Amino acid sequence: MVNGRPRHYLVDGFAQHLNYPQTKERFRDRVKSGLWAHAKVHLVEEKANGPALIAELKKEIPGIVPTNPKEGKEARLIVHSGRFQAGEVFLPASGVIAQADEFVDELVHFPRGSHDDVVDMTTQALDRLSAPFTRWAEAFRKLGRMPK
Q: How far apart are CA 34 and CA 84, in angstroms?
A: 26
| pLDDT at 45 (0 to 100) | 92
**What are the pLDDT digits (tens) for 25-48?**
999 998 988 888 888 889 999 998
* Cis status of the peptide bond prior to 6, with omega within 30 of 0: no
Query: Percent of the chain having pLDDT more than 70?
Result: 85
Pair 107, 85: CB distance under 8 Å: no
| pLDDT at 140 (0 to 100) | 63
Tell me the pTM.
0.76
Q: Is the pLDDT of residue 82 over 80?
A: yes
| pLDDT at 101 (0 to 100) | 83
| pLDDT at 3 (0 to 100) | 64
| Ranges of each domain in the chain | 8-142
Q: Is the pLDDT of residue 63 over 90?
A: yes
